[in-house]
Structure 1
Amino acid sequence: MSAAALVRPRPVHRAADLLSAYLPGSFYYSSARGSLLADGVHAPVDAPHGTRAAAAAAALTAAAVAGVEEPVVVGAIGFRPDGPSSLVVPALVRRAGAPGGDGPTGAARVPAWTITPRPEPAAYTAAVRRALDLIDDGDLDKVVLGRCLDLLADTPVAVPALLARLVRADPAAHAFAVDVSAPGDPAPRTLLGASPELLVSRHGTEVVANPLAGSLPRVADEDENRRRRAALLASAKDRAEHAHVAAGVAEVLGRSCVDLDVPAEPSVIGTPTMWHLSTRITGRVADPADPGSSALALAEALHPTPAVCGVPVVRAREAIADLEPLDRGHFTGLVGWTDLNGDGEWVVTIRCAEVCDRSVRLFAGAGVVAGSDPAAELAETGAKFRTLLRALGAEDPR
């Protein structure tokens, strides 16, 4: 028998097959570059803030030595330095191309929802006004304030069908589903979403980050959408907010990358519910074998960007802890994957929800800068909720 005959052919998967195969407890991730479905746990990756990339590299090396084929680390990291982390080397990984709009539809039944805002809208706008006072006093240049919607269904939520609807609604988004179960949960807890914001990717020597800041809701009328795109590009307030974010990301990547390209002007990108100012920053790592230049190491260095925290970062994080009534957990953290070569993709955990049995908690936030209007920031978070509300078949509570 020839050596070639002994080589087992690699299974060929379709993106729709991976989406259909997803079950709660699995890890799912898809973007324009492809789809990944991971199952089982070969080894957990448990390390404190700032050392997770090194721990992931060690776990990947150990997995390769143990015979795991093409091992990866997958999972999610929370917003705060002491926040939750769910990184693992899975036992089985399947890959496919980018998803299309033809994924499984799931059950057609729409649950009856009870929706509770946290905090109440009036309390959120009051927090924005307090943040504006801090900005006026010179304590902050920007702070991002989040809020939640707690939804309760009359039956358990079908997570695979919900994920499928998110992917089908926007195949170009960075869709994800991660098990984040904690002791005491009555059922598996899943973090899932469709993030528009790439924190950082690395493939070979190429590094890409795509920070977003400055937003307007998308509407059905295309003439009005053209006006809103133009208004975003012309808005001094939104451009200033975006400049904080792009400069912060460029400064961090400049420590590890060469040939860094930062466009002088932002562009506008769209999702099914929003328009965002966007800057696509590219560069190269000089030595892709350097553990400090892995996708996860770069993501750790970048997190949290001013897009989800503020400027300056430490003071903004203190203000968030003071002004937001609930701990963010995984919201505005990062989710993604890294392989043995250091390649990978990590996205900002936005347009997301946590699902456990009949309960769903949705998250959204808005950046507050000088000139922000509290009512407009409330409306922006409401528009951002629509990604998940539509997928859930729930009414917008406004």
Structure 2
Amino acid sequence: MSTVHQVAAHTSAPADPHSAVGAATALLDAYREGDRFLATPTRTLLAHGVQREVPHGTAPVAERVAEALRQARSDRRAAPVVIGALPFEQDAPAALVIPETVRTGPSLAYDPLVALPAAEPPATTWTVRPEPEPDVYAKGVSSAVDRMWNGEFSKVVLARTLEVTGPETLDLAAMVQRLGRRDPGGYTFALPTGPDRTLLGASPELLVSRRGNRLVSNPLAGSIPRSDDLAEDVRRAAALLESAKDLHEHAVVVDAVHQVMAPYCSTVEVPARPSLIRTATMWHLSTTVTGTLARPEVSALEIASALHPTPAVCGTPTALARQVIRETEPFDRGFFTGIVGWGDAEGNGEWVVTIRCAEAEGRTLRLYAGAGIVSASVPEAETAETAAKFRTFLNAVGAEL
């Protein structure tokens, strides 16, 4: 069973992560549809009910969240937290709430019981409908590459979706079990986003975390599918570290993160070269950017909002990349490539890029996967990369392309 391996911990680990064997997996086991579940490398959260919704409005989302947390504190809630999801389009409504109750445990990665396998998916006949079809997606990639060679822009992230429908109502608790146990060192989430709709996934990418005055961001860009053959898997990892195309794509993202974080920090540290992280299905180029917060009143969510969307999920320049996405993708991204996470009234929190995800409703899952397109991109290779990224979810439900 593969886990997400990071070069540096995203935030400090709990003081005694091994003190309660089964504490994290108990929260994973207790999740039921309608709850809010979030597992990160530092903690596991299971929230019930809604004490207060963060309203939609014209004020920046970080201000609206801060006000909701202040009001919750005035209602004598000792340590309120906000948890939920923000969409790709920043002016679209978010799904953020202050829960009635929150149970907290250590990271799943620290719980030895996470090694126990989840139940295998039941044998099911699935109907799979791609949007767009793979050949249409490849043509969109080819068109974007042509425009880049003409000098219009330097990168765009293009996505496609799969609508996967089964004969019975989806067992979301079982899916979350498989996602959490498959990559316990990553970010597993299941969050309501509307009536009878749930956003669930297992993202490897931290947008930003804050603990005290320490900020961490872990941008990922440049990917290659893993192989079941060990020697081939190692070869692919080594090739990714030497790929000029992927190193350039990664450098663009890291530079953008650095530029956004710098005004908020007294110091920022950026490694000279990326390292690798692996999930169950992909290798990624990874850089851990750390900073010391200069102003304590700035929350993790405020910085996350400034970072979003990074070139890793949109492109560069941002405004033109957004326009290319709207022109090319025949669907609304919704919460895909948005942000999921939690925050507290002191401004601490962890906010994660919403990838390797799906939205569930009734008998249907809508899966999302994207690839970073640069001038050196090959349409067939980018189509294959999105297919590999779909595997995170397809494996969790027992479906195939």
Q: Structures share a fold, TM > 0.5?
A: yes
Match of 1:176 in 2: 189
Match of 1:129 in 2: 142
Deviation larger for 368-377 or 73-82: 73-82
RMSD: 1.4
Match of 1:17 in 2: 26
Q: Write the deviation string for residues 96-144 of structure 1: whole angstroms up to 9, x where unpaired.
A: 0111424683575232211111100110001001111221121110000
Match of 1:148 in 2: 161
Q: 1:19 touches 1:103 (CA, 8 Å); kept in 2?
A: no
Q: Distance in 1 between matches of 2:34 and 2:352?
A: 20
Q: 1:16 touches 1:103 (CA, 8 Å); kept in 2?
A: no
Q: Distance in 1 between matches of 2:263 and 2:322?
A: 23
DSSP 3-state at the match of 1:255: helix
Deviation at 1:156, TM superposition (A): 0.7
Q: Distance in 1 between matches of 2:160 and 2:69?
A: 36
TM-score, reference length from structure 2: 0.91
Deviation larger for 40-49 or 58-67: 40-49
Q: Distance in 2 between matches of 1:279 and 1:385?
A: 23
Q: Distance in 2 between matches of 1:198 and 1:110?
A: 34
DSSP 3-state at the match of 1:145: strand
The alignment status of 1:319 with 2:314, answered yes or no, reads: no
The alignment status of 1:75 with 2:84, answered yes or no, reads: yes
Which residue identity does 1:306 align to in structure 2? P
The alignment status of 1:393 with 2:398, answered yes or no, reads: yes
Unmatched runs of 5 consecutive residues or more in structure 2: 1-19
Q: 2:121 touches 2:396 (CA, 8 Å); kept in 1?
A: no
Structure 1 segment 90-109 matched on structure 2, within 5 A:
90-99=99-108, 100=111, 101-102=114-115, 105=118, 108-109=121-122
Q: 2:121 touches 2:398 (CA, 8 Å); kept in 1?
A: no
Deviation at 1:49, TM superposition (A): 6.4
Deviation at 1:65, TM superposition (A): 1.2
Q: 2:357 touches 2:368 (CA, 8 Å); kept in 1?
A: yes
Q: Distance in 2 between matches of 1:76 and 1:49?
A: 17
Structure 1 segment 206-355 matched on structure 2, within 5 A:
206-288=214-296, 290=297, 293-355=298-360
DSSP 3-state at the match of 2:88: coil
Q: 1:68 touches 1:91 (CA, 8 Å); kept in 2?
A: no
Which residue identity does 1:179 align to in structure 2? P
DSSP 3-state at the match of 1:180: strand
Deviation at 1:391, TM superposition (A): 0.5
Q: Write the deviation string for residues 233-268 of structure 1: whole angstroms up to 9, x where unpaired.
A: 111110110011000011000110122001110111
Q: Distance in 1 between matches of 2:136 and 2:64?
A: 41
Unmatched runs of 5 consecutive residues or more in structure 1: 1-11, 183-187
Deviation larger for 45-54 or 65-74: 45-54
The alignment status of 1:30 with 2:43, answered yes or no, reads: no
Deviation at 1:287, TM superposition (A): 2.8
Task: Give the one of 362, 366, 373 matched to 2:367.
Answer: 362
Q: Distance in 1 between matches of 2:354 and 2:253?
A: 16
Deviation larger for 188-197 or 92-101: 92-101
Q: Write the deviation string for residues 38-70 of structure 1: whole angstroms up to 9, x where unpaired.
A: 111111112346611011111111101101121
Q: Distance in 2 between matches of 1:125 and 1:358?
A: 29
Which residue identity does 1:223 align to in structure 2? A
The alignment status of 1:167 with 2:180, answered yes or no, reads: yes
Deviation at 1:325, TM superposition (A): 0.5
Q: 1:219 touches 1:225 (CA, 8 Å); kept in 2?
A: yes
Deviation larger for 305-314 or 108-117: 108-117
Which residue identity does 2:338 align to in structure 1? G
Structure 1 segment 81-92 matched on structure 2, within 5 A:
81-92=90-101
Q: Distance in 1 between matches of 2:224 and 2:59?
A: 34
Q: 1:46 touches 1:52 (CA, 8 Å); kept in 2?
A: no
Q: Distance in 2 between matches of 1:121 and 1:163?
A: 28
Q: 1:49 touches 1:81 (CA, 8 Å); kept in 2?
A: no
TM-score, reference length from structure 1: 0.92
Q: How many residues align?
A: 377
DSSP 3-state at the match of 1:272: coil
Q: Write the deviation string for residues 24-43 of structure 1: whole angstroms up to 9, x where unpaired.
A: 11111001101011111111
Q: 1:111 touches 1:155 (CA, 8 Å); kept in 2?
A: no
Q: Distance in 1 between matches of 2:115 and 2:176?
A: 13
